[in-house]
Chain A
Amino acid sequence: MARLTINGSLVDLDIEDDTPLLWALRDHAGLTGTKYGCGVAQCGACTVHVDGVAMRSCVVPVGSIEETEEIVTIEGLGQGAPHPVQQAWAELDVAQCGYCQAGMLMAASALLAQNPTPSDEDIRAEITNICRCGTYGRVLAGIKLAAERMATPSDQG
């Protein structure tokens, strides 16, 4: 049994404590936007925010999360209005197959929350998610565009 705060709602899930958060989200909370890519913290497809910090949910047991900790998934990112990274991704046509992109967007938004003006080197060092389609160049451009937008919110248009 786990009680979690997911995208602002408190939910009770009837699951074993050692179930990874990824599978709690996908199989029990019905939130399949968070993806399974490796299960061993290598690829980042499963990235979510826990209290604003990017976590690889495939290796986080639900038993280790307090109900007061705020979990945000891709479904909860940009609720109401698109997050600047989602907007930038749409404008730059970043996604190819899209399977890694929920994780990319969660990693990118967490990075910008901590470092609003990341350099290319910061982005290269911090975004370690795997994209087999090879969207890395546009991911980098997307983060920079989103950072610009966030710095000058009035220019969002």
Chain B
Amino acid sequence: MTATARLSRRGFIGSAAAAGAFSFGFSFPLATPGLAQSFETPEVNAWVVVSRDETVTIRIARAEMGQGSLTGLAQLVAEELDCDWERVTFELVKPSENARRDGVWRSMATGGSQAIRGSHNYVRAGGAAARKMLVNAAAAGWGVPAGECTVALGVITHGPSGQSTTYGAVAEAANAETPPEDVTLKDPADWTIAGQPKLRLDTADKLDGSLVYGMDFTMPDMLVAVPKACPVHGGRLVSFEAEAVQGMPGVRRVLRVDDETVAVVADTFWRAKTAMDALPIEWDAGENAAVSSETIAASLTEGLRAETPYIGNQAGDAPAALSDAEQVFEAEYSFPFLNHAPMEPIAATVRWTTDRCEMWGPTQVAESALRTLAQTAGLPTEACEVHVMRIGGSFGRRLMTDYIAMATRIAMQLPGTPVKMMWTREEDMLQGRFHPVTRCSLRGAIDEAGDLQALHMRISGQSISYSLNPEGVTANGDGSVFQGLEPDGDQFRLGYNPPNLLIDYAMRNTHIRPGWWRGVNLNQNALYLECFIEEMARATGQDPLAFRRKLLANSPKHLAVLEAAAQGIGWNGPAQEGRHRGLAQVMGFGSYVAAAAEVSLQDGWLQIHRIVAATDPGHVVNPQQIDAQVAGSFVYGLSALLYGECTVADGRIQQENFDTYNVLRLDEMPEVEVITVPSGGFWGGVGEPTIAVGAPAVLNAVSAALGRPVRHLPLVNADLRPAAAGEAG
């Protein structure tokens, strides 16, 4: 009777097909559009469907790309619903459905670690409302006051009369109940489903190959398009010789997609790619061909000294205090371009006709994906459909919808034919939306007592908003470049408050297209400041933890996670012979995070032995998923620290695959210890903030081991031999 839901976690192999009917979350082309088509009962409300077999389907509006929020959100709904978690499954919401129902699921955007912290109130309210409607329906059937009924595990009981029924039995009647005007949410202290280390709801089909990602999608008569855009961003496609490849196996069309892109359309990916590799193409790279990593660095370095109106945080008079000070430390750091490089490269299937356009594929922003689709297709949004899918990793890449527009332009040249656009890894690497490049100069004045009296931090570099969200650039510049350095705010807040402080920014944009990369600007800001803080501590003979304690006197939550991480690594005791430690802390995406790392250097390379993370996210919805996110954040952040760098020559990105864009693998994976110290009263994200402390904690440990600071990423370019002279930069 409850086999489907149970199987999805207990006997996962047998369940995959059964679960699939509910969980793919997209309708196949011939199916009637709309939700819950596979259920014999109507929904209770927008969030909850209970079928007669007691399966509870919870609707999820935010994208799932591996971060696990799908399960966390379902836990929050199920908690208020008081259903049996073992019978819970999920269904993904389509943006068209959200629009038709006046945004009942609110924002579908999934970025900025917002999935849970940005929706916990209304998803819990959705679960609580459904519970009320189910209980009211049962009570009405019995003719008893609803207030006399209790619920446990989806069974409603009327104590006085001893009657009981189930959610599945009253679900249909509940649909007709008036939705309650307000509901009382549980105190998190009373949670039994939320807050628990539940296994993911969406695992089974990842283990037997049955999960259909955007790359895997197929439908009858579908063709595959492999595009190639001008490798120099902003350059032009001049011409291509279609005749040279038209006779190759499987090739159907060679077409101009837009001013800078050509595509080969064939019956399969490999045939399209083979023809693309053979296609003679003439590009006009334009003036950007003169740009290189060196010219970009020169422009950013100029920005470090230039006048600028953009100020992110200011107290006292830092320039004056610095010029009067006796002891001033200075450093210059840099952070390179990085590609998201999710394991699933970009892919999307679009079918266009003169009156309808549909997309089957992944997106982190389903609603703007639908708008992009409609605008490109020249159709009203009501005539369009985005069939969302679970994503093979994204890390911010699919917050941008460029690839949806591209897939649509291709499909529009083959009316009625579904076309799956698939990027090669090389195309994905060249046409990414890169972590912006910045440099930073820091100057700090330390007085005789060892206290930081003045700090000036100048960031120079690329603005993501300038490229993607111009309205985000105001008279104060792109405010988001100050992530983690702001004087106040509940998302990002600098914990340090020296008496004289100036943090400012010189915007220096490049033609390399930037994007929101997991952790965004918190990554470099935390690295710059946390490494400089530790440099100053070591230079003045102070313990880096004790030095920060003084600076964080008014920031107890910042300090608490730092203390927890330091304790976890054994900061107060000596490290093993040859091992060195570093720390970092930051507040970002609503959470307080810190890391402590222990490394050793051997033969010019490092081994990261241990890394401890401490996180205060306010509330914990699923502790084992937090562990997974924190460990994953370290892998992501440390891949960048060790290897990640996209360089530019002749205007184009030089790294085209994992052989030149290396990432952390299992052999280098440190032991990770996750400490979660939820202090309650707020809701912070966990998918991103830890990335920003992993790299500086390790870099600080490396600098401690070397006895001199390393200030430029990635470490693979640095000389890590202790005796080497002069690396300072």
Residue numbers of B with Cβ under 8 A of A are 9, 11-13, 65-68, 199-200, 203-213, 215-216, 218, 224, 249, 268-270, 341-345, 390-395, 424-425, 624-625, 628, 631-636, 639, 657-659, 663-667, 669, 671-672
Contacts and interface: CB of A to CB of B under 8 A. Distances in A.
B628 A96 contact: yes
A84 B134 CA distance: 41
The 7 closest A-B pairs by CB, nearest first: A33-B209, A97-B66, A134-B635, A99-B392, A98-B206, A134-B632, A96-B66
13 contacts: A30-B218, A33-B209, A36-B269, A37-B425, A75-B210, A82-B11, A82-B13, A93-B203, A98-B211, A99-B66, A105-B207, A134-B634, A136-B666
Contacts of A30: 218
B657 A90 contact: no
Contacts of A95: 66, 200, 203, 206-207
Interface in A84-139: 86, 89-91, 93, 95-102, 105, 123-125, 127-139
B218 A32 contact: yes
Contact of B9 (A90, A96, A99): A90
A42 B211 contact: no
Contacts of B209: 31-34, 73-75, 102
Q: Which of A42, A96, A101 has the most CB of B within 10 A?
A: A96
Contact of B204 (A33, A36, A90, A105): A90
A35 interface: yes
B12 A32 contact: no
Contact of A96 (B210, B632, B659, B665): B632
B628 A138 contact: yes
Given A32-B216, A43-B343, A130-B665, 12 more contacts: A26-B216, A86-B207, A93-B200, A97-B65, A97-B392, A124-B666, A128-B665, A128-B667, A132-B341, A132-B635, A133-B393, A134-B632
Interface string A44-82: 010000000000000000000000000001110110011
A27 interface: yes
Contacts of B666: 123-124, 127-129, 136, 139-140
A26 B269 contact: yes
Nearest to A31: B209
A44 to B, nearest CB: 9
Contact of A137 (B210, B211, B631, B663): B631
A100 B628 contact: no
B219 to A, nearest CB: 12
Contacts of A43: 343, 658
A153 B270 CA distance: 42
A38 B268 contact: no
A26 B65 CA distance: 22
A74 to B, nearest CB: 4
A57 B224 CA distance: 20
Nearest to B68: A96
Given A45-B343, A105-B207, A28 B268 contact: yes
Contacts of A102: 209
A139 to B, nearest CB: 7
A119 to B, nearest CB: 13
A96 B270 contact: no
A16 interface: yes
A20 B270 contact: yes
B468 to A, nearest CB: 22
A91 B624 CA distance: 12
Nearest to B634: A134
A74 B208 contact: yes
A102 B632 CA distance: 18
Counting chain B CB atoms within 10 Å of each CB, the highest count among A43, A95, A125, A133 belongs to: A133
Given A20-B270, A28-B268, A132-B393, A38 B425 contact: yes
A75 B208 contact: yes
Contacts of A77: 208
Given A42-B657, A133-B393, A135-B628, A101 B206 contact: yes
B634 A89 contact: no
A125 B632 CA distance: 20
B665 A35 contact: no
Contact of A131 (B13, B65, B343, B624): B343
A78 B208 contact: yes
B207 A90 contact: yes
Nearest to B656: A40
Nearest to B200: A93
B36 to A, nearest CB: 25
Contacts of A82: 11-13, 207
Contacts of B636: 132, 134
Contacts of B342: 97, 99, 132
Contacts of B633: 134
A97 B343 contact: yes
A16 B343 CA distance: 27
A32 B214 CA distance: 11
A42 B429 CA distance: 14
A16 B424 CA distance: 20
A90, A129, A138, most chain B CB atoms within 10 A: A90
Most buried by B among A16, A36, A81: A36
B393 A97 contact: yes
Contacts of B632: 96, 133-135
A18 B657 CA distance: 21
A5 interface: no
Given A32-B218, A93-B628, A98-B206, A132 B268 contact: no
A4 B199 CA distance: 38
Nearest to B637: A134
Contacts of B200: 93, 95
Contacts of A123: 666
Contacts of A35: 213, 215, 343-344, 392
Nearest to B668: A124
A132 B343 contact: yes
A136 B215 contact: no
A47 to B, nearest CB: 12
B270 A98 contact: no
Contact of A38 (B9, B218, B657): B657
Nearest to A106: B209
A130 to B, nearest CB: 6
Contacts of A86: 12-13, 207-208
Which of B11, B13, B624, B672 counts the most A-chain CB atoms under 10 A from its CB? B13
A128 B664 CA distance: 10
A128 B199 CA distance: 26
A138 B625 CA distance: 12
